[in-house]
Structure 1
Amino acid sequence: MSTGTTPNTPGAEAGTQDASGPGFHPVIVGSDIGVYALARSFHERYGVRTTVVAFAEPGPIAHSQIIDTVISGSDTEAIVATLELFATQRAAARPAERLVLLTNMDWVVRDLVEHRRRLEQHYVLPFADAALIDRISDKAEFAAVCAELGIPTPGTVIQDFSAADAPGWEPVPVGFDFPVIAKPASSADYHGVTFPGKKKIFEIATPGELDRLMISLRDAGFRGRFLVQEMIPGDDTQMRSVTAYADSHGRVTLRCSARVLLEERTPATRGNPSAMIVERIDPILEAAQRILEHTGWRGFANFDVKLDPRDGVYKFFEQNPRIGRNNYYLTAGGQNPTEVLVDDVVHGVRRAPVTAVAEVLYSVVPRWLLRRYVLDPELKARVVRLQRSGRTVHPLRYRADSSPRRRLYVLTALVNHVRKYRQFYPLDELRRVHAANSPAPAAGEVRA
């Protein structure tokens, strides 16, 4: 794969475009920081405004000069109807323009693909088909694909709740040592389930705590599958992220990997990286590419991986059917994902594959907080070096979209991160986790 970079650099001003316009218009459903990051990447490369179909107008997209917001209801029919109405109105003024439809939420991906026939009358939908999305988004099915390819995953027990109403139903016994990790196999199945203490991911300390979670899930009406996995030792710095794009012919034409430094800790965002360094990690890049090309994937995908310090092996956790909340690390790493997407689905260009390799620190937390939470001396020195050299990016800090209200929001968000880490991940807990695990090997490998 080529490792050449695009002319776009972190913090660049709006990109240029032909006098006739780019010939397409991006439409994104959602409103989180990842949506803003995608809109920023479109603006940097093509100088276009993005239309965001949102369920509200929260901070990440509020008061933006590069986004036009359309408010929609959050149920499927409301989203589809809003998209159809917008497309009809847009076509009246710009009949030759192609609309490219994206989202950064798993359940919305599934809804858009389910209504592909209706939406493709107006939009380009750069997603895999519904059956493949359902298969690969299910963490149990994803583990089966990895097993086919000889790609390691954590040890897993699958708790199937489909028969939980039957008399005498009991969860499958778990043979791992505690603590363990528990999480839904499919986030779509879990999306509408409500119960006290609901989290995205559970860290379970004892068998009794796991039993209570299983009862809560059953009583809340959850009838999907829940995974119980062995907990791989190590703090957040053992995590890795991979993002890739498979084009209309099934070829992976864009790859990027990063070393995670710190993850979000609130119940709703647990596991999302809040700081990472773009770094070329060939074993996991190649493994992710094998998965995508083996399954016939189309569009963006994001993978969570962890380096197991016990054996030095990278282990894949899951594949998300979207570009990911932290997608700006691709642009920061030298490869703007919107260019790869547009060349494929709008212009029909068969691009040479590229890998983002520029070493950049991506972070949404205060500089001092990150330095405090990275305990490994060598890794901390690397963070400080990148900070001092100016090779850092915050996706919301965009010079071309920096009104006073935007700057105030970014400052407020940074302060809120301090509060959230103090509440959900105090330094004493991090030090305990770090001390309990030996350092990871300098390099890992993907092997069976």
Structure 2
Amino acid sequence: MTASGRTPVPDATGPDDDATADAAGRGSAPLQPVILGADIGVYALARSFHEAYGVRSIVVSGAALGPVARSRILDNVLLGPAASPEDLVDRLVTLAGELPGRRLVLLANSDWLVRVVVRHRVRLEPHYVVPFLDEALLDRISDKATFAEICTGLGIDVPRTVVQDFSGAGEDDWRPRPVDVAYPLIAKAASSADYQDVHFPGKKKVFEISTSAELDALWTALAGAGFRGRFVVQELIPGDDTQMRSITAYVDSRGELTLMCSAHVLLEEHTPSGLGNPAAMITQRVDAMLEQARRFLTSTGYVGFANFDVKVDPRDGSFRFFEVNPRIGRNNYYVTAAGANPMRFLVEDRVQGRAVEPVVVDREILYSILPHRLLLRYVLDPALRARVRTLVRAGAVAHPLRYRGDGSVARRAYVLAAMLNQVRKFRTYYPEPTQTGF
């Protein structure tokens, strides 16, 4: 089945009445989402819950950052910036006791928070629906090195990969493994959870390395900072941001793949901390690519949400799978905007216990956190530029923070400031505009 029917209204002001009544099983415990984190992806999840069921989410985080501050659709529970994972789990257990008679659904949207939840499942599951895969599989698929090995075994294309193991980097006789991948190349942590608390000058999410001297300097910095996980070195697949693709999927508690949605990335963020995060995408159904994601999910016994990063290799048109995130992804609102609210699939499966007819989304919308003129300065391909203009003129555009159901003066001011801040960031970190607006 495809996601079709009435045109979605991303800025809808209220939930569907029948769905709202159904969310709590028409008389059973009312639904209460509890979401960990405070970024734009967390707000998008709260928005999707609000659109579908009219519920206010509870957001638990160290601080009420801009995306979740002063919102009418969520309540912030603050832990403080020094809270440990154990403090978080303790607070979640206490919070559950403060919410008697509610059906609590726990979500996290960063790798390290997912890992905290999964590792403490025994304490949390008596109180919450915990819709994540088990710890053994999480460890396997979250590691980019192991992910590449699994994909190769399943006939799924990945970039050529070399693994650098830092487990012995504290020993006097440790030396990094020689790397025989051609320059320039890409280097990144195999597990973002291992990299989360490592700090050193010039730290990035992803490094583009041009010379052996640069790579040696990175190895020295990582070892000196106490990093003891694994780093992967991969061949650089040519092509700009527009070669990237995103896939979001949901596998239900029965092991059925009930939701798939893919998108064509137009532009990524280019700040050091956000490098690689899509800033603008057009939803696009590509069955050949989705079939490979399906093969991975069904072969590994995956359950819950998954988000794949894929790049089209312009040399041969193949889909090179980079990683799978064990969560729905920061830019998850593109799925809701295209007509298939992921929270419905989760709630009907885990709260209502109902099998859902599988959906593959094929509606085209433009998801963007950027001003349209800024976006078009960076989209070179004439066909893509034309598609962007067409979607903008048709109103088939979604920004996760622009929600009429949460449209206070303070929120509108924040969204405007966030858009202007995108202009500043691109001028600073990616200053070469290629076109000039409409």
Q: TM-score range by the shorter chain?
A: over 0.9
| Residue 167 of structure 1: how far off its partner (Å) | 3.1
| Letter in structure 2 aligned against 1:350 | A
* 1:13 matched residue in structure 2: 13
What is the aligned partner in structure 1 of residue 41 from structure 2?
Answer: 34
Q: Tell me the CA shift for residue 22 of structure 1.
A: 7.2
The DSSP-based 3-state class of the residue aligned with 1:140 is: helix
Give yes or no for the alignment of 1:171 onto 2:183. no
Sequence identity (%): 58
In the TM superposition, residue 426 of structure 1 has moved relative to its aligned partner by 1.4
Q: Contact 2:156/2:292 (CA < 8 Å) preserved in 1?
A: yes
Please say if 1:247 is aligned against 2:242. Answer: no
Task: Letter of the 1:86 partner, please give it.
Answer: L
1:111 aligns with 2:136: no
Q: Aligned equivalents of 1:33 and 1:237: distance in 2?
A: 22
Q: Is the 8 A contact 2:29 2:103 kept in 1?
A: no
| 2:69 paired with 1:44 | no
Report the Cα offset of residue 175 of structure 1: 1.6
- Which residue is equivalent to 1:280? 285
Quote the offset at 1:54 in angstroms.
Answer: 1.4
- 289, 294, 306: which is aligned to 2:299? 294
1:331-388 Cα distance to aligned partner (Å, 9 max, x none): 1111000000000000010111101221000000011000111011111111111111
CA distance in 2, matches of 1:107, 1:176: 29
C-alpha contact 1:8 1:44 (8 A) present in aligned 2: no
- Residue 122 of structure 1 and its aligned partner are, at CA, apart by 0.6
Which residue identity lines up with residue 9 of structure 1 in the other structure? V
- Are the aligned partners of 2:2 and 2:362 in contact in 1 as well (CA < 8 Å)? no
1:208 counterpart (194, 209, 213): 213
CA contact (8 A) 1:41 1:331 kept: yes
What is the identity, as a one-letter code, of the residue corresponding to 2:382?
P
> How many Å separate the matches in 2 of 1:323 and 1:125?
14
For each residue in 1:284-332, what CA deviation from the matched residue of structure 2 results, as whole angstroms up to 9, or x when unmatched? 2111111111111111010000001111111000000110000000011
- Letter matched to residue 276 of structure 2: G
TM-score calculated relative to the size of structure 1: 0.93
**Stretch moving more, 382-391 or 335-344:** 382-391
Alpha carbons 1:361, 1:386 under 8 Å: kept: yes
Question: How far does residue 8 in structure 1 lie from its aligned partner after superposition?
Answer: 4.9
2:346 corresponding residue in structure 1: 341
Matched letter for residue 39 of structure 2: D
- Aligned residues of 1:366 and 1:414 also touching (Cα < 8 A): yes
Counterparts of 1:125 and 1:28, CA distance in 2: 11
Distance 1:176 1:105 in 2: 30
2:359 aligned with 1:350: no
Indicate whether 1:55 and 2:25 are aligned: no
Q: Conserved in 2, the CA contact under 8 Å of 1:28 and 1:53? A: yes
Shift of residue 11 of structure 1?
Answer: 1.4
Equivalent position SS for 2:355? coil
Tell me the residue number matched to 1:263: 268
- Partner secondary structure for residue 98 of structure 2: helix
> How far did residue 21 of structure 1 move?
7.8
1:446 maps to what in 2? none
Of 203, 218, 225, 1:220 maps to 225
Mapped to 2, the partners of 1:7 and 1:369 lie a distance apart of: 27
Q: Does 1:79 align with 2:88?
A: yes
Secondary structure of the residue aligned to 2:157 is coil
Deviations 1:261-288, CA, capped at 9 Å, x for gaps: 0001111111110000001011121111
Unaligned runs of 5+ in 2: none
Q: How does 1:114-193 map to 2 (within 5 A)?
A: 114-193=119-198
- Residue by residue over 1:80-117, the C-alpha shift from the partner in whole angstroms, topping out at 9 and shown as x without a partner, is 111111110101xxx2x210000101001001111111
Q: Distance in 1 between matches of 2:372 and 2:28?
A: 39
Q: 1:230 aligned to 228, 232, 235, which one?
A: 235
Gaps of 5+ in 1: 432-448
State the alpha-carbon separation in 1 of the partners of residues 28 and 132 from structure 2: 25
Letter in 1 for 2:91: T
Match of 2:99 in 1: 90
TM-score normalized with structure 2 length: 0.95
Preserved contact between residue 2 and residue 361 of structure 2 (Cα < 8 Å): no
For 2:385 and 2:291, the matched residues in 1 are separated by 28
CA distance in 1, matches of 2:171, 2:78: 42
Does the residue aligned with 2:275 lie in a helix, a strand or coil? Answer: coil
